Amino acid sequence: MTQASVTDLVASALFELTAGQAAFSRAIRSLEAALEQGVQDGIESQPACAVPPSEHRRAHRSGTAPKIASDPELQTFIAARVDRLTFEQIAAEVAQHFPPARRVGKTAIWEWWKKRQVGG
């Protein structure tokens, strides 16, 4: 190989690399623009909320509902006794009349009674 042919090959390779680098730069810019546009479109196209977020949060209750609040029969049973027995006595009667999965303790009865007094 002659010096001229090596120089021509290096110059040609350099030209090709420069063109490739420019093509990569354009591709990267296009991808970045497409990504940014996708993010903006995704943010701007959120579904409309029928209920204001604060109202939704106010209505949301985490965890499971208290046993008494979700069991009308248990509520009636306790309400019939709450004016004449202590919470501990009511809990003992609940334990006698209901299966273990539906039993509640004196603290749960007191909390249910307290909410009922407040109107909640």
Task: Write the pLDDT tens digit of every residue in 34-63.
Answer: 888 877 777 677 677 776 667 767 777 777
What b/e sequence results for 41-68 when a residue is b if at least 16 CB atoms lie within 10 Å of its CB, and e otherwise?
Answer: eeeeeeeeeeeeeeeeeeeeeeeeeebb
74-86 pLDDT, tens digit each: 999 999 999 999 9
**Could you report the per-residue pLDDT of 18-34, keeping only the tens digit for each?**
999 999 999 999 889 88
pLDDT at 116 over 60: yes
Residue 95 in this model has a pLDDT that exceeds 90: yes
pLDDT > 90: percent of the chain: 48
Spatial CB neighbours of 69, under 8 Å, sequence gap ≥ 6? 75, 112
Say if residue 109's pLDDT is above 90: yes
> Can you give the pLDDT at residue 85?
94
Q: Is 53 helix (H, G, I), strand (E, B) or coil?
A: helix
The whole-number pLDDT of residue 1 equals: 67
Q: In this structure, are residues 108 and 66 in contact, taking their beta carbons and an 8 Å threshold?
A: yes
Domain boundaries, the chain: 1-46, 62-118
CA dihedral 86, 112, 73, 82 (to 10 degrees): 20
The closest of 84, 80, 76, 63 to 102, measured between CA atoms, is: 76
